[in-house]
Structure 1
Amino acid sequence: MCCQGSAAIPGIPGLPGSLGQPGSKGEPGQKGDIGQIGPIGERGAAGPQGDEGIGQPGKIGPRGVPGVVGPTGESGVKGQKGEPGEAPDDSNQRVAFTVVRTSDFTSTSQDTRLPFQATKTLLPGTSFDLETGTFTCGVPGTYVFMFSVCKYHSSSEMYVYLQKNGVVVVSGLSTDSSHYEQMSGSAVVVLQRGDTMYLTMDGRAFSSNPWHYTSFSGFLLYPE
């Protein structure tokens, strides 16, 4: 019969063994849950301009506010001389006037123009200046002019001159110092555009309203 001895004392642990060979690839694990949305990142730099789109053009926007007026530009080159314009047709033009004084007028110089105070007839286009008693020709042609001036009874003498551009055409004279005396004269005159006709006088002319003893008339007989 065999006898069992007492247990032996454990020996000192051995040194770790060398690293083993990698094991074979395991099976894929299960898909994990979706994580939470992270914070918005900082805005990145602008990328390059993309290609032109193929969409339809947009509608025209509203009109903007007018801009500030710019500085005046330099003067341009002088243009070429234009063609001569057509002369105005004066064939149907009518010219006529009758002007009167409504009060007396006294002059001591033969160069003093006889002014007038009212128009009895003044056709459109007829140029007459009452203050200077001057008719200015606007339609070249042949004209008829007439004047009638009443000398004041106490005036010793009176001279009246119908003048064209400062040159006497016809004149009237009265030397009767005791009576009123009516003087008149007329002339046919050829005028060019811009010519002037007027009366000058020396003495005292009588007139009143509404009798108009002193008057001046003219009309276009026929155009040039």
Structure 2
Amino acid sequence: MDIKTGVEFLLLLLAVLRFQRGGCQRIGCNTCCRGPTGKVGAKGDPGDIGPRGERGENGSIHIHNISAFSAVLGASLTHNAGEALPFISIHTNVGDDFDGPSGIFTCTIPGIYRFTYSIYAYDETLEVFLMKNQDNINGVYVYIHGTDYFIARSNSAVLQLASGDKVWLKSTTPNGQFHNSDRTTFSGVIIHEM
């Protein structure tokens, strides 16, 4: 046996010995001395349940505030120009923000509100404005030409209100005659709290 053959024999013998001890001993070797991948074994039993975690922080619940009212005039009346129109019959007053006798809604929940109103007239020309504090927002004008006429007009507005703002209906007609009817109405509701 020559030296070259002897070296090859020793290398072969070392490879066999390494394979018998559990495969190739070279770090990072994934190719030599490795057979085909075997079948996947059966699923093992589930482990034990772990310990209970720590209690989390308390959450917060936001309960939405509500403010809504709906009122009708409820009686015939002669009204002075520049004053708030009173409402005798109140159907809804959630939050108690509307005062019927004074006709004034006072905001206690800052937010966006929707207001609607209708004015019903009989043989009388009337002009009414929706007011925010002392500012005219919009109005209706009921013009009667002749006699024995019933006419109704309505309007609405979406307003951003701060706490303490007042919303009301103002007649600009001197000694305006408002007919006893459930057709003269005023209502408002919060649609988004801020």
Residue 207 of structure 1 pairs with residue 180 of structure 2:
yes
Q: 2:157 aligns with which of 174, 178, 187?
A: 187
Mapping of residues 1-224 of structure 1, within 5 Å: 92-109=64-81, 111-123=82-94, 125-152=95-122, 154-155=123-124, 157-177=125-145, 178=147, 179-201=149-171, 202=173, 203-208=176-181, 212-224=182-194
Cα deviation per residue 1:102-158 (whole Å; 9 max; x = unaligned)? 11122242x0210010210111x2311111100000000000000011012x21x11
- Give the unaligned 5+ runs of structure 1: 1-88
Following superposition, the deviation at residue 183 of structure 1 comes to 1.2
Following superposition, the deviation at residue 207 of structure 1 comes to 2.4
Say whether the 8 Å CA contact 1:149–1:215 is kept in structure 2: yes
RMSD over aligned Cα, in angstroms? 1.6
Q: Distance in 2 between matches of 1:204 and 1:172?
A: 15
Query: Highest CA radius of gyration, 1 or 2?
Result: 1
Following superposition, the deviation at residue 91 of structure 1 comes to 5.8
- The structure that is helix-richer by fraction is 2
Cα deviation per residue 1:143-193 (whole Å; 9 max; x = unaligned)? 0000011012x21x1101100001110100012233111011100000000
- Give the unaligned 5+ runs of structure 2: 1-60
The percentage of counterpart residues that share the same residue type is 30
SS in 1 for 2:74: coil
TM-score, normalized by length of structure 1? Answer: 0.55
**Aligned residue identity for 1:100:** V
- The structure that is strand-richer by fraction is 2
SS in 1 for 2:190: strand
The list of structure 1 runs, each at least 4 consecutive aligned residues, that deviate by more than 4 angstroms after superposition, is: none
State the number of aligned residues. 129
SS in 1 for 2:154: strand
Say whether the 8 Å CA contact 1:126–1:138 is kept in structure 2: no
**Aligned residue identity for 1:195:** D
Q: Distance in 1 between matches of 2:115 and 2:157?
A: 5
Say whether the 8 Å CA contact 1:116–1:133 is kept in structure 2: yes
TM-score, normalized by length of structure 2? Answer: 0.63
